[in-house]
Structure 1
Amino acid sequence: MKKNIDIIIIGFALFSMFFGAGNLIFPPYIGMTSGSGWLTSFLGFVLADIGIILLSINAVAKAGSYQAVVGRAGKKFGISLEFIMMLCLGPILVVPRTAATTYEMSIAPLFGSFNPALFSVLFFGLTFLLTVKPTKVMDIIGKFLTPVLLVALAFLIGKGIISPIGELKSFTGSEELFSTGLTQGYQTMDALGVGGVTALIMTSFLTKGYKDKKENAILTVKASLVAGLGLILVYGGLTYLGATVSTIYDVSISQTTLLINITSHLLGSAGTILLGIVVAFACLTTSIGLTSVTAKYFEDVSNKKVKYEYLVTLICVFSAIVSNLGVDKIISIAAPILTVLYPVSIVLVLMSSFGNLFTKNSTFKGAAYATLLISLLTVIDSLGISVSFVHILPFNNFGFNWLLPAIIGGILGHLFLKDEVNMFYNKAS
């Protein structure tokens, strides 16, 4: 009984850590653009978002750490990739964005004249208080914050199902709808922080007395399934809400405006308040989780020479400053960095998930470096320096133009790079 309760609590916390404000605005827009075909788009979204998350958590849990996965492309490569990724998840991009999003979607609509600098101090002051004790993070999120978030979401979705706003616009072309959902799910880039998040989950189970590594890994996967189920239900509900306004709005409407209008249609002025609560709790839980994950990572990197509490303080202070740049500016900074990091991370995680097929580190190296090259060229092209061939690669329209080069790179690495069989995987499996 205790084990099941622990799985549910940590699963709830994991749900909240992945369910940020970005996840709130994607599904309604997908539904609005899909109408009667919303379920097809939704399935594509789930596959590219939740599917990759679950595969990633499973791979990291089996390997024992994220470094054991990405390090197969080379020790220095793995350390560098993880280090940059954790900086992005922490004070540079993702954590500051949670405060900026909360201000723009929750505080500004309700308290228009509230000072943004003061709000950032209050937001990260609360983040600090709820994060400074690492063993309590998952319990605080799972027991207290997530239930509030779920109740608010359930109320909004339930109202939309009982009293649909409008008719579902008729759509055909299931292949196009599925690819739309697939692309949107990929663009959430939720699996980027899965290494640190998985480590936090496993540590939480460890502090609850589950010291056997195999049992700990199994419980971690089960908690991720709880989170995955929660995400599927919420995403499904939000996608359907979007579909009910498909005859009212078109693709010209912004994702944020669409969500605000849906809540206003369903609940009137009370909808603005409810949306503010949902966004605030979604962003706060993400901020708490990622601040803890990042601080724990850098504490371990420093061999505990820099204490967790000091790192939490540093992250909160720096994030408070960066958050005042605003959501649009932070996103514009984040986009090229994430475009480079995310594909490489996915390739290494997917290959690790099927480790019985990929036993040589040289295969990982070839695939990782080929993916990195294409990702870098894609970013260079987006900055105005023409690298036109990246657009003619297969699956470019889905954001997967790195897929074929990764396969070719893996084959070349396997054939021409000398390497020993990865013994760690054999032991872990």
Structure 2
Amino acid sequence: MKKLNKDIIIVGFALFAMFFGAGNLLFPPFLGLITGKSWLTGFTGFILADVGLSLLAILAIGKCGGEVSKVFSRAGHKLSITLGCAIMICIGPLLAIPRTAATTFEMGIQPIFGNFNAVIFSVIFFAITLLLTIKPSKVVDIIGSYLTPALLIALLVLIGMGIINPLGSIEPSTIDNVFSEGVFQGYQTLDALGAVSLGAVVITSIANKGYTKKEEQVSITFKAGLVAAAGLFLVYGGLTYLGSTVSSMFDSNVSQAGLIVSITEMLLGFPGKVILGIIVALACLTTAIGLTSATGQYFAKLSNNKIKYETIVTVVCIFSLVISNFGVSTIIQFSAPILTFVYPPTIVLVVFTLLGEKIKNDNVFKFSTYAALFISVLNIMGDFGVKVPLINSLPLASLGFNWVVPVLVASAIGYFVKSNNKSQYDEEKIAV
């Protein structure tokens, strides 16, 4: 029992660190700033949209034995591969992994060391990432046992100082829809996508610890997810509160990165910049390690191990190294449309996977997924200046969930349309 509890804590700590990237460090303080005295209401919306969706994704991937393709399988083989590859490329070497290095450089290195060479830093960052990723069975233990405690200590020092010595008075909220804004900010973190990809890393680690029964793996994965959720709840709450304490000093035009840098410097002076650099570096490194390992495992399985895991993670690190030198803003700009495309259908399939044993008609999966994709395409068109009035008039559009009602309608239609093929549910039941 002691070994089981220790393993759950280590895996939970690792999940916390892999979720908590630099982007997660930026959103809560800004939310606290704009919501002021109503920061707790905004934080509630944030935690539901961020941690809530991530827990669902972790549970779904646990039920599927860590195989991302199984989460998507009942939507059709071709769509399953397309979505899986899009998620892994986007959350991997195209966006999230290079962004970890770029953010570490811009927030953790430049403020302290000034004109340090960006290329040299990228080489060092990804050399460390590759070194700690090359053995997938050790990834979770390395992060959970060593890196996460250091990250948590640095975060708690910052938050503790802000609670003991509040920086200023908390002003009334400057926005009307506080809860909705919290939901929107949490939705924008895209942690649910990360949860889908990181689930494979977690399941691999759990299996290597000797837990081979699927029921055990699902149980441990969910409990570890709760440990991670508790850590995220405390840290997000603390950071949101810190943001609210400077609501009389900054307005909504302040940059999110500039806000957290200013808060840290006001609390701790120049040493605060060093602490922030440590926090950012640890947060980004743990996320890079987890996502690199997840990408390697996915494409190794997809190729039936014809392409070795070690080869894939090496290529991912080299590609990410190159992309990271374009800078955070550029990376986000060219990747945003892809994220808009893949996120809604991913959430749909995660939720339906959890209900899989109750849905025996695969057309429910297929119709709802294509509906989510269709709305996503319309959203992308709107982002590029093509006016599509429909997308803004749909229910929940203000929250970024304008795809929900069309998905529900499509799933209802799919339920009544008889599938020509034998349901994959009948051929390959996903264990609860």
Q: CA deviation at 1:353?
A: 2.1
- Residues in 2 aligned to 1:397 and 1:309: alpha-carbon distance in whole angstroms: 44
CA contact (8 A) 1:37 1:177 kept: yes
Aligned residue number for residue 345 of structure 2: 344
| CA distance, structure 2, for counterparts of residue 3 and residue 392 of structure 1 | 50
Match of 1:405 in 2: 406
Partners of 2:131 and 2:328 lie apart in 1 by: 24
1:428 counterpart residue number: 431
Distance, in Å, in 2 between the alignment partners of 1:204 and 1:259 is 34
Paired residues of 1:352 and 1:358 also in contact (CA < 8 A): no
- What letter matches 1:157 in structure 2? I
Q: Which runs of 5+ in 1 are unaligned?
A: none
For 1:59 and 1:144, the matched residues in 2 are separated by 27
CA–CA separation in structure 1 for the residues paired with 2:174 and 2:429: 47
* TM score, norm. by length of structure 2: 0.96
Tell me, yes or no, if the aligned pair for 2:170 and 2:247 is still in contact at 8 Å.
yes
Aligned residue in 2 for 1:75: 77
Change (3 A) 1:300 1:427: closer
Residues in 1 aligned to 2:361 and 2:28: alpha-carbon distance in whole angstroms = 39
Match of 2:96 in 1: 94
Alpha carbons 1:355, 1:425 under 8 Å: kept: no
User: How much is the aligned-residue C-alpha RMSD, in angstroms?
Assistant: 1.5
What does residue 375 of structure 1 align with? 376
**190-199 or 143-152: which moved more?**
190-199
SS state at 1:418 partner = coil
For residues 324-344 of structure 1, the C-alpha deviation after alignment (integer angstroms, 9 at most, x for no partner) is 110000000111100010011
1:40 shift after superposition: 0.5
Deviations 1:299-332 (CA, angstroms, capped at 9, x unpaired): 1111111111111111111110110110000000
Q: CA deviation at 1:134?
A: 1.1
| 2:144 matches 1:147 | no
Query: Is 1:391 aligned to residue 395 of structure 2?
Result: no
Q: CA deviation at 1:350?
A: 1.4
Structure-1 separation of matches of 2:216 and 2:134: 28
Equivalent residue, structure 1, for 2:50: 49
Partner of 1:188: 189
- 1:235 corresponds in structure 2 to 236
Alpha-carbon shift at residue 427 of structure 1 (Å):
5.4
User: Residue 368 of structure 2 aligns to a residue in which SS?
Assistant: helix
Residues 200 and 297 of structure 2 are in contact (CA less than 8 Å); yes or no, is this contact kept in structure 1? no
User: Higher mean Cα deviation, 19-28 or 384-393?
Assistant: 384-393
Identify the residue that residue 107 of structure 2 maps to in structure 1.
Answer: 105
Take 1:39 and 1:425, find their aligned partners in 2: how far apart are those partners?
44
Q: One-letter code of the match for 2:135? A: K
CA contact (8 A) 2:63 2:214 kept: no
Asked if structure 1 preserves the Cα contact closer than 8 Å seen for 2:214 and 2:431, the reply is: no
> Residue 63 of structure 2 contacts residue 218 of structure 2 at CA under 8 Å; is this kept in 1?
yes
What are the Cα deviations for residues 145-165 of structure 1, in whole angstroms up to 9, with x where unaligned?
111100000000000011111
Q: 1:21-420, aligned counterparts within 5 Å?
A: 21-64=22-65, 65-171=67-173, 176-418=177-419, 420=422
* 1:60-109 Cα deviation digits (max 9, x unpaired): 21233332221111111111100111111221111011101111111111
CA contact 1:107–1:276 (8 Å) conserved in 2: yes
What's the offset of the Cα at 1:408?
1.2
Residue matched to 1:20: 21
Using the alignment, how far apart are the partners of 1:3 and 1:332 within structure 2?
A: 43
Change (3 A) 1:172 1:282: closer
Tell me, yes or no, if the aligned pair for 1:37 and 1:172 is still in contact at 8 Å: no
Q: Percent identity?
A: 51
Q: In the aligned structure 1, how far is the partner of 2:57 from the partner of 2:316? A: 25
Q: Which amino acid aligns with 1:144?
A: Y
Maintained 8 Å contact 1:340/1:379: yes
C-alpha contact 1:49 1:185 (8 A) present in aligned 2: yes
Q: In 2 relative to 1, CA 304–110 (structure 1 residues): closer, same or farther, beyond 3 Å?
A: same
Q: Is the 8 A contact 1:100 1:326 kept in 2?
A: yes
Identify if the C-alpha distance between structure 1 residues 362 and 305 changes in structure 2 by more than 3 Å, giving closer, same or farther.
Answer: same
**2 CA distance for matches of 1:397 and 1:417?**
35
Question: How much has 1:354 moved relative to structure 2?
Answer: 2.7
Aligned to 2:8: 7
Give distance in 2, aligned partners of 1:93 and 1:10: 25
CA distance in 2, matches of 1:368, 1:386: 23
- Paired AA for residue 157 in structure 2: F
Q: Which runs of 5+ in 2 are unaligned?
A: none
